[in-house]
A and B are shown apart, each in its own frame.
Chain A
Amino acid sequence: MCMMGAPSFAGELTTDLSAVVPRGYAPLDADERGLWQSWEKLEELLAVSNLRIRDPQLNAYLGEVMQRLMGDQAKDLRIYIMRNPEFNAAMAPSGVMIVNTGFLARVRNEGQLAAVLGHEAGHYLRRHTLQSWRSIRTKSAIGAFVAAGANVATGYTGQTTWYDLANAINQNLLLSVFQHSRGLESEADAYGFKLLSQAGYSPESASQVWTQLIEEHKASAAARGKRYKAGGSALSTHPPPEDRQEDLAVTAKLHRMRNAQATFEDRREAYLLAIGPHRVSLLEEQVMLNNPGASLYLLNALAQDGWDSTLRFSEGEVYRLRNEAGDPARAMTAYRQAIEAPGATSTMYRAHGYAQLKHGNREEGIAALRHYLTLEPTANDAQMVRFTLEQ
């Protein structure tokens, strides 16, 4: 999901594109075969990575969404969900799709998930990586593909991660996945929109994702007193260009006008059901980075569908970590709201208890920590909590 490009006027995307990669596609020429071979090696590392989320239910769910978007051709893809707090996803020419947890954390419903997965499918179905590979190779005049192949063949083991290996083999290999031209990104947006709308998802889903990401970056910068910079680069956390968001919004508006009788869905419940067991850790990944502007924006964005105990608890955590004037009180309020909401967990009671003690509300703090120990008598911090209660 590349993030580069020159500014342009917003306009409707051309969505009458057809796939150039058929079901069961195999590479044709030497360049492409070499590219696939490099990715086979990388895929082996992805498959055994300690950062991979292997939950069969979540993986199956993403596969089902791909099936809704691409039909039978989704079987040609392999999805790897990787623990990485950055918002990103990527598509290799061989059918390897990488989905970051940082992207899953920011999605409100299945429509938004499908929007980004559809975009990546667009890169695959239009063979963008090969085009980008050739373009980058030509521009850099490195032409190191032969050397890259040799590295793979000799079992290069000097680095440990799939990304390190890719970078060591050839930086162009990585750039070809993460850095497409403005034209190819626009085409992937268009193809993704086509898949999204064909599958019956809300057409605004794609532009919503980008809007949220842009606003999050603005909030992040503002919270630290920095100036927001539009645009960005593929391998950074920089925001996407606003013109892509605008193109997608215009395309969605026109699509809805032309299909006034159609019904669209975002399948939020299906998404929440699948992501449920991971939601706390997905938010924790963001919150513990102590980027309060981004985290608070994200939580408020997700809360457009309603605050719940997890979101309130996470809000309390943001304020507690930031710890500026007024934050301890804000954290205390958020923790109280968390334990008063359905689904409150033992961790939320512990946070509430410590916050109350910090504020001198000894009785309520002790009660909350005791409740925590009642819920989790063998918690891995039970000794510490008991020690605190004895002070």
Chain B
Amino acid sequence: MKTLKVSLGIAVLAIALSGCAPTYSLVKPNASAKVGSGMMKVQPGIAWSKAPAGSGQMLKSEVWTQNGPVLDAVVFLGPVKDGTAIVMQNKKAERKVPVFHAQMTPQDLVDMVESYYRIRAGATIFENEALKPTTFLGAKGLDFTYRYVGADEVKRRGRTVISVIDQQLYLMTLDGAAPYFDSAQLEFEKLVASAVL
């Protein structure tokens, strides 16, 4: 009953609650902001709270939130090199998030994200809602929407956009409990549209 051992707060993209007081910082609206490992830049239309560095589960990701990452979170990730996983994981871990490869098909990328949710968030219900092509960071990419129930049994939705540029993966995700997800969608779309390298 491994997933049952997972305690409160496994919001997917998010924050391991610890005894230390996390230091959040303000992301000002209408100003260009470097995100992730600094390669991507976006321009938020509203103010966000930026979670402390290293709080996202994805490797070198950056997490922004409006109401706390358990309720809503935007995650920026990239670049991820060909042959690298999007998370830090033990070589001998029996369950491993599939490694990113530049030649992955759209279905491979979608399943890599789903596998991540199942392994890292204890999601046992994961339903794809829509997968369509998009333009992200000026390149052809994919836009993937889904709903899931994680180990905390809360219904959540997620939306991930991915582009593979020069053999490297760039990703933005919006994740949240249903009403928070809905209210953040428009701003997320603006963030995606504003994203540049």
A interface residues, Cβ below 8 angstroms from B:
49-51, 83-86, 88, 100-101, 159-161, 163-164, 167, 178, 220-221, 223-226, 235-237, 285, 288-291, 293-294, 317, 320-323, 350-351, 354, 357-358, 380-381, 383-384, 387-388
Contacts and interface: CB of A to CB of B under 8 A. Distances in A.
Sorted nearest first, the 3 A-B pairs with minimum C-beta distance are A381-B131, A83-B124, A387-B133
Residue among A178, A221, A380 facing the most chain B CB atoms (10 A cut-off): A380
B139 interface: no
Contacts of B131: 380-381, 383-384
Given A161-B152, A381-B128, A291 B103 contact: no
Contact of A88 (B1, B125, B149, B153): B1
A289 B152 contact: no
A315 to B, nearest CB: 15
Contacts of B7: 164, 167
Given A50-B153, A289-B95, A380 B129 contact: yes
13 contacts: A84-B4, A86-B4, A160-B153, A161-B152, A164-B152, A235-B5, A289-B119, A294-B94, A323-B99, A357-B105, A381-B128, A384-B132, A388-B106
Given A51-B124, A161-B152, A321 B98 contact: yes
A324 to B, nearest CB: 9
Given A50-B155, A51-B149, A289-B95, A236 B115 contact: no
Contacts of A226: 92, 94
Contacts of B18: none
Interface of B: 1-5, 7-8, 91-99, 101, 103, 105-108, 110-111, 114-115, 118-119, 124-126, 128-133, 142, 149, 151-155
B92 A289 contact: no
A159 B8 contact: yes
A290 B8 contact: no
Nearest to A87: B1
B153 A51 contact: yes
Nearest to A217: B94
Given A101-B124, A384-B133, 16 more contacts: A50-B153, A83-B149, A85-B3, A160-B154, A164-B7, A220-B94, A221-B94, A235-B1, A236-B5, A288-B111, A289-B95, A289-B115, A321-B98, A322-B98, A380-B129, A388-B105
A264 B123 CA distance: 39
A72 B52 CA distance: 58
B94 to A, nearest CB: 5
Contacts of A88: 1
A327 to B, nearest CB: 11
Contacts of A285: 118, 124
A128 B1 CA distance: 20
Contacts of B106: 354, 381, 384, 388
Contacts of A160: 8, 152-154
Contacts of B99: 323
B94 A291 contact: yes
B3 A84 contact: yes
B101 A323 contact: yes
A290 B98 contact: yes
A381 B142 CA distance: 10
B134 to A, nearest CB: 10
A226 B95 CA distance: 13
A323 B98 contact: yes
A108 B63 CA distance: 44
A237 B133 contact: no
A388 B106 CA distance: 9
Contact of A84 (B1, B92, B97, B154): B1
B142 A83 contact: no
Nearest to A357: B105
Given A85-B124, A381-B131, A387-B133, A293 B101 contact: no
B155 to A, nearest CB: 6
Contacts of B96: 290-291
A358 B103 contact: yes
Contacts of B151: 161
A100 B114 CA distance: 21
Contacts of A320: 108, 111
Contacts of A351: 107
Given A85-B124, A380-B131, A321 B115 contact: yes
A100 B2 CA distance: 12
B107 A288 contact: no
A235 to B, nearest CB: 5
A384 B108 CA distance: 13
Contacts of B142: 384
Contacts of B97: 290
A163 B112 CA distance: 28
Contacts of A223: 94
Contacts of A85: 3, 118, 124
B166 to A, nearest CB: 18
Nearest to B97: A290
B190 to A, nearest CB: 22
